[in-house]
Amino acid sequence: MGFLQDKKILITGVASNRSIAYGVARAMHREGAELAFTYQNEKLQGRVEKFAREFDSDICLPLDVSSDDDIQALFSALGERWDGLDGLVHSIGFAPRDQLEGSFVDAVTREGFLTTHDISAYSFAALAKAGKSMMEGRNAALVTMTYLGAVRTVPNYNVMGVAKAALEATTRYLADSMGPDGIRVNAVSAGPIRTLAASGINNFRSMLAEAEKKTPLQRNVTIDEVGNATAFLCSDLASGITGDVLYVDSGYHIVG
Ligand code: 0WD
């Protein structure tokens, strides 16, 4: 029996089979979880439905996190299929491309800043708020995906790093305010992985190469390693852990 047996978990952010959320789905499915998925737009619908079937799920719902209506509709529709929710994985991030290159002070704009924070940080709070009533009283857990750029400057990561700092603080505030309902909230800080989102970051290849050179494990991490850690944090094995950021980065963050 897997350590997520009988848990009902909603996974956002599967865009391709390279997405971190895809690695999360693979680990959670292996550990016996029942899964539901969201897709950002019609273009991705067919692909995400196919992934869902691969993981024995027929629950695939639209969600653009910039829309409050979408967020409400998501939980209404999920409530028709499930009597509650044990886990929610937030694996969503976006910054306009012009924000992710060059010097931060030159690149940042009001609009770029707001969009990046809305999609990449506020959306986690919005999903927690809208999903709370389905998660109360069942040892539920939320996990989001963050990056070291939240706590250190990383070339070209720019306003996305600022939004990740907001996301990590949001994780702590959500953990504090949802703890009394038995809901845990954590973040996984993943090392660089080649995905669709990552391809938007200028010079991503050199981030991968540098990590490989400098990490204690001397290699980059995989979506399956991030998936395993996320599955653990959503499980009862992690029942004493909340408000935390767990690094899955081959140890890169400890190296000076
Ligand atoms: O190196 C990396 N890949 C790292 C990623 C290192 C550390 C953290 N992360 C984070 C990302 O910042 C993000 O929060 O992990 C999360 C997942 O990212 P990913 O797996 O690297 O990227 P991807 O496969 O592209 O999935 C992100 C998805 C989007 O994909 P595209 O490529 O179509 O933008 O986030 C979704 C979308 O499916 N997304 C949205 N979903 C709902 N509403 C929205 C939106 N408005 N915008 C983006």
Q: For residue 49, tell me if it sits in a domain.
A: yes
Residue 201 gets which letter from DSSP? Answer: S
pTM over 0.80: yes
Q: How confident is the model at residue 207 (pLDDT cuts 50, 70, 90)?
A: confident
Q: Say what the ipTM of the complex is.
A: 0.96
Q: For residue 1, tell me if it sits in a domain.
A: no
Question: How many domains are contained in the chain?
Answer: 1
Indicate the burial class of 171 (C-beta count within 10 angstroms; 0-12, 13-18, 19 or more).
buried
- Among 22, 147, 247, 252, the one annotated catalytic: 147
Two tokens at 186? 């954590």
Q: For residue 3, tell me if it sits in a domain.
A: no
Q: For residue 51, tell me if it sits in a domain.
A: yes
Residue 194 backbone phi and psi in degrees, to 5: -75, 105
Q: For residue 94, tell me if it sits in a domain.
A: yes
Q: For residue 64, tell me if it sits in a domain.
A: yes
Q: Residue ranges of the alpha helices (H) in 31-67?
A: 42-54
User: What is the chain's mean pLDDT, rounded?
Assistant: 97
203 pLDDT above the threshold of 90: no
Structure confidence by residue, pLDDT tens digits, 139-198: 999 999 999 999 999 999 999 999 999 999 999 999 999 999 999 999 999 999 999 889
Q: Which domain holds residue 76?
A: 8-254
- What pLDDT is attached to residue 256? 84
Q: Which of 19, 215, 220 to mutate to test the pocket of ligand 1 (most atoms within 8 A of CB)?
A: 19
Q: For residue 2, tell me if it sits in a domain.
A: no
CATH code for the domain in which residue 234 is found: 3.40.50.720
Cα 92 to middle of ligand 1, angstroms: 4
Annotated binding-site residue? 196: yes
Q: Exposed e or buried b for every residue in 18-44, given b needs 16+ CB within 10 A? A: ebbbbbbbbbbbbbebbbbbbbbeeeb
Q: For residue 156, tell me if it sits in a domain.
A: yes
